[in-house]
Amino acid sequence: DLGAHPDHMAKEIDEQPGVVADVLARVRHRTADGSTWVGLGLPPFDRLAVVACGTSLHAGQVIANTVRSLGGVPTDTVVASEVEHVVLGPGTLVLAISQSGETADVLRALDRLDDRHPVLALTNHVHSSLARRADAVLDCHAGPEVGVAATKSFTAQVVVGVTAVVSALVASGRLEPSRAVALVDDLARLPERMAAAAVVAADRVPLLAATVRDAPGFLFLGRGPGLPYAAEGALKVKELSYRWAEASPAGELKHGPLALVDDGTPVVVVDHGDPRLQSAIAEVRARGGFVVTIGGAGSDVPAVARPADATDLAWGRSVAPWGPIEAVVPLQMLARELALQLGCDVDKPHDRARSVTVR
Ligand code: M6R
């Protein structure tokens, strides 16, 4: 039932604050005391390998950044279809992420991995093939996702995943419980931030999309914790608008991708308040590129408006290890609006299936 929404993608984007609030209500009290992790019954781990595809891989990159930066745990993110080129050391826990739990590349990757590695599944379908194959399962609790483009499942994967790794780090003594409490408190404000981001984006995105819709291609830039969101924004544009969209670390621009920037080339910058993004923005503008900043206070499409006396993990002070989660809302809305203005079906892009069960 679409209710007042014009399509499933719009509905699922709108549902995100509620999904995050629901997830946090389930896991909040079990995060800072380590009990989420203990309840999974998995052995301790020294390394983590995240295995996934597409949007789930981007969620995995956010989770990997979190476990690395908070716990110093060596972590690999592995594109599921490339697993045979990866060597996993002893003591590695495999975190397999799949909204559907039926993605053939992910299931095949697990078949190819050594049985010694315990597998934790993060999925929206707890009776899926992935869940059956795993040693323990984390439910995303995103509810049914009908649109082919993954939206609310991404944010649910991120929130369930980062709270689970925070819990694991507390349980293993790598993270102080008081720090975990502060991190979870920061996440608790996410529903409100996402809802506010959607209101601003609804106002600004239609005109932005109209300005850039005739461009043949798009560049998305980010840095550090902002990078998975840039990659996610680019994937959504490709999948829905059939336009090329490349995501690049901002620092890599000068090593090649800048050559793509010409008069009017749209360059979407995920701005999480890192001043080092400014030099990339200046390089793009010097070549005539059309810069759209998304995320930070004062950007073209801000995802957050911080009070001057903010004392939490807000942008502009220290960045949360999971980066600018709320920035995904304007990125999803931009991709959807662009696709609609180009006459594309946002719920059923051509040649795309809800879950990819072939390899
Ligand atoms: O069901 P999965 O999470 O395993 O699907 C993986 C990808 O096929 C999927 O995330 C795809 O990239 C999305 N449709 C992108 O919006």
**C-alpha of residue 160 to centroid of ligand 1, in Å:** 17
**C-alpha of residue 81 to centroid of ligand 1, in Å:** 13
- pLDDT above 80: residue 91: yes
**C-alpha of residue 107 to centroid of ligand 1, in Å:** 13
What does the DSSP assignment read for 187-200? HHTHHHHHHHHHHH
Ligand 1 within 6 A of CB of 123? no
The reported pLDDT for the residue numbered 311 is 38
Residue pLDDT, tens place only, 120-160: 999 999 999 999 999 999 999 999 999 999 999 999 999 99
- pLDDT above 50: residue 314: no
Has the ipTM of the complex gone over 0.95?
A: yes
Average pLDDT over residues 86-115: 95
Ligand 1 within 6 A of CB of 129? no
- pLDDT above 50: residue 317: no
- pLDDT above 70: residue 310: no
Residue nearest to atom 14 of ligand 1 (CA): 149
- pLDDT above 90: residue 233: yes
Confidence of residue 350 (pLDDT cuts 50, 70, 90): confident
Task: Give the orientation angle of helix 16-31 with respect to helix 152-171, to 10 degrees.
Answer: 10
**C-alpha of residue 261 to centroid of ligand 1, in Å:** 29
| Element at 281 (helix H, strand E) | helix 277-286
Average pLDDT over residues 14-35: 95
Ligand 1 pocket test, pick from 8, 9, 51, 55 with the greatest ligand atom count within 8 Å of Cβ, gives 55
Confidence of residue 1 (pLDDT cuts 50, 70, 90): confident
**C-alpha of residue 287 to centroid of ligand 1, in Å:** 34
- Across 274-299, b (16+ Cβ under 10 Å) vs e yields beebeebbebbeeeebbbbbbbbbeb
The reported pLDDT for the residue numbered 355 is 67
The reported pLDDT for the residue numbered 103 is 97
Confidence of residue 347 (pLDDT cuts 50, 70, 90): very high
- pLDDT above 50: residue 81: yes
Average pLDDT over residues 102-106: 97
Phi, psi of 109 (to 5 degrees): -60, -40
Alpha-carbon distances, residue 116 vs 47, 141, 147 (angstroms): 13, 29, 37
Inter-residue contact 297 to 310 (CB < 8 Å)? no
Rank 11-15, 193-197, 302-306 by mean pLDDT and report only the highest: 11-15
Confidence of residue 174 (pLDDT cuts 50, 70, 90): very high
Strand partners, 76: 49
The reported pLDDT for the residue numbered 359 is 66
Task: Give the orientation angle of helix 177-188 with respect to helix 152-171, to 10 degrees.
Answer: 170
**C-alpha of residue 258 to centroid of ligand 1, in Å:** 29
- pLDDT above 70: residue 351: no
Average pLDDT over residues 11-21: 97
| N residues, the chain | 359
What percent of the chain has a predicted confidence (pLDDT) above 70? 94
Closest CA to 77 of 237, 92, 234: 92
**C-alpha of residue 148 to centroid of ligand 1, in Å:** 8
Mean pLDDT of the chain: 92
Ligand 1 within 6 A of CB of 157? no
Ligand 1 within 6 A of CB of 103? yes
Ligand 1 within 6 A of CB of 15? no
The reported pLDDT for the residue numbered 307 is 43
Structure token digits, residue 25:
């209500």
Average pLDDT over residues 263-274: 92
Closest ligand 1 atom, residue 352 Cα: 14
Tokens 């220290």 — which residue? 318
Average pLDDT over residues 161-181: 96
Of 174-178, 309-313, 346-350, minimum mean pLDDT range: 309-313
Average pLDDT over residues 30-52: 96
20 vs 162: CA distance, rounded Å: 12
